[in-house]
Amino acid sequence: MTEIMKLNKPWLVAVWPGMGNVALSAGYYMISKLGMHLLAEFSPKELFEMEHVEVKDGLIHPGRLPRSRLFVWTDPQHQHDVIVFIGEAQPPTGKYQFCHSLIDLARRLGVERVFTFAAMATQMHPEHVSRVFGAATEEQGLEQLKSLDIDLLQEGQISGLNGVLLGVAAESGLRGTCLLGEMPHIFAQLPFPKAALAVVRVFSSIADIEIDTHELVEQARIMDRNLGQLLSKVEEAIEKSRSEEPEEDSQEFTEESRVEEEERLSAEDENHIEKLFEQARQDRTKAYELKRELDRLEVFKDYENRFLNLFQKPSSDYPANPEPDASAFRLIDPVPFPRPLPHITTTRLACSSRREIFCRKQP
């Protein structure tokens, strides 16, 4: 049965993997706390290559191409709905084509404004408050950033799809804004939730929507403490490095890591995870607590498919927006549009990627 969903002046937020997991953390947090639901899958397969296969217990499992999904939140205040696009990876080639296809889809959904989230690596101390840097495609957006005391990106580049998507949005007449959360460059390969927290807060101010950030605040506090301890250990290690034997230590660390990998989940941990999954099924606002625990146990990749499946919801459950000028979107598989777009479906969820996307200022 075909169900019709109406979106009210929606905004699109697009995130991909990158430094500090800043963009993805913000995206996941928003779909959890706003109680978003799966809207569609956008997957132009011709732009991706198979890069690896998975091996488990000696068995090789078929690989799969990166996938991208769109989640939607309907604004109860009827100002504008929000769509969050979460991509597993950036295409190695054809980024411009990819962005045109995504913006084409966005326009058909009635999107009026496009945001991308990213990280900004600076010399900041890990314990300091993360600033948010911003850039916009038009003067109105720039003035709004100034009114919020956002540090403007005066010059430089926004690498990858974080920037290209906004350029294509501007070409298509859509307003675009990039929000970059500040993080210390020395920990660029580690999660930095404080930057994600800063980005979520700025976006909620711009969008005039309320997002409970309590869990993200707590996660940032814990990470601050851990990074402070790590920084102290690094400083101590540097002082002692001349008297140590790195090859022997490295082998010992590898063996220990292997043992930890094999025994990383106890029966108690597994039971706790199942309990959190059940709680998240009953109340999706608790989903981020589940994600935080999966991240702590370093098993989120193993459970990511189940985690994202929490946000699936039959299209018939979506409330129809009564405003006559709302954009209509027919949620079936495949999704029909006035002219075809490549591989847009509403299939089951799966996700894994470790690609790096980054934004930085030029010296």
Please write the tens of the pLDDT for every residue from 125-156: 888 999 999 999 999 999 999 999 999 998 88
Measure the CA–CA gap between 32 and 227, rounded to whole angstroms.
26
Q: Are 284 and 32 in contact (CB under 8 A)?
A: yes
Token readout for 150 is 């956002």
Per the listing, tokens 């709905």 go with 81
Which of 45, 117, 30 minimizes the C-alpha distance to 75? 30
Q: What is the pLDDT of residues 301-335, one digit of tens each?
A: 777 777 777 777 644 444 443 333 333 233 333 33
Domain ranges of the chain: 4-212+304-360
Which of 33, 39, 38, 207 minimizes the C-alpha distance to 113? 207
pLDDT of residue 155: 86
Per the listing, tokens 């039959």 go with 314
The 8-class DSSP code of residue 292 comes to: H
In CATH, the architecture of 4-212+304-360 is: 3-Layer(aba) Sandwich (3.40)
pLDDT of residue 342: 35
Q: What is the pLDDT of residues 165-186, one digit of tens each?
A: 999 999 999 999 999 999 999 8
Instruction: Average the pLDDT over 28-44 and give the result.
Output: 89
- Full-prediction pTM beyond 0.85? no
More confident residue, 142 or 43: 142
pLDDT of residue 337: 31
Instruction: Average the pLDDT over 100-110 and give the result.
Output: 93
pLDDT of residue 298: 79
